[in-house]
């Protein structure tokens, strides 16, 4: 039995974008706004307990951007409010358009 060849593209090499976000857990509703520094502020109803806010963040972004949950990855900041998120299969323009966010 032959070994299967490795995929030519790893998740990190796939086209996508990395964004900076600030999370506000336990908000009254889920929403996204652009902050003055260009990062996104994402309000989530989920509490910051046992990874619930991280799971809610991935699900919320995946649904808003019409990509699979596996296309959204937290690169850094797993336990912090400031996070870097990698989204595979979209460009920054796609993110701005799909999330209806305009630069200030």
CATH code of the domain occupying 16-98: 3.30.1200.10
- The CA–CA distances, whole Å, from 94 to 33, 76, 87 equal 15, 22, 11
Does the pTM surpass 0.95? The reply is: no
Helix (H) / strand (E) element for 36: namely: none
Cα–Cα distance measured from residue 34 to residue 21, given in angstroms and rounded to the nearest whole number: 9
Cα–Cα distance measured from residue 37 to residue 101, given in angstroms and rounded to the nearest whole number: 14
Domain assignments of the chain as residue spans, ordered by start: 16-98
Per-residue pLDDT of the chain (104 residues; tens, 9 = 90+): 444 444 444 444 567 899 999 999 999 999 998 888 878 999 999 999 999 999 999 999 999 888 999 999 999 999 999 999 999 999 888 888 767 765 44
């Amino acid at each position: 039995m032959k070994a299967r060849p490795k995929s030519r593209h790893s998740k990190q090499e796939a086209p996508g974008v990395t964004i900076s976000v600030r999370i506000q857990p336990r908000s009254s509703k889920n929403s996204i706004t652009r902050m003055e520094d260009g990062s996104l502020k994402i309000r989530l109803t989920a509490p910051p307990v046992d990874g619930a806010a991280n799971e809610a963040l991935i699900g919320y972004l995946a649904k808003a951007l019409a990509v699979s949950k596996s296309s959204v990855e937290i690169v850094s900041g797993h336990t912090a409010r400031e996070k870097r998120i990698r989204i595979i299969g979209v460009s920054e323009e796609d993110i701005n358009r799909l999330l209806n966010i305009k630069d200030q």
